[in-house]
Amino acid sequence: MTPRFVRREDDAAGRRPDTPIEITVDGAPVAGVAGQTIAGVLLAGGRHAWRQGPTGAPRGVFCGIGVCFDCLVTVNGDRDVRACRRRALDGDIVVSQSRVEAEES
């Protein structure tokens, strides 16, 4: 599946209001539209991965419906938020998470 942003003038329904929002992801601003999920904002912004699994492998959206927990992020200080289920709000601060195993010393 390829992420894409449907412009208002190309929207078949033609009634969608484009209310711009901006979230901060790992310190960088990312533009979105009100009503998008955090995962939707990230995908439309060109980010396909925002978490690392235990082996260090990149993770992003897998199921897109909140079942798999691959898209976990920290939002406004709350850990383990499913990016595919949480609507982005203007001003949200999103931080990537990692489950990389710490190397034993």
pLDDT digits (tens, 9 = 90+) for 22-36: 999 999 999 999 999
What percent helix, strand, coil does the chain show, rounded to 5? 10, 30, 60
Which architecture, in CATH terms, is 19-96?
A: Roll (3.10)
Q: Residue 99: which pLDDT band, with cuts at 50, 70 and 90?
A: confident
- Give me the chain's average pLDDT, please: 86
pLDDT confidence of residue 104: 43
Collapsed DSSP state (helix, strand, coil) of residue 26 = coil
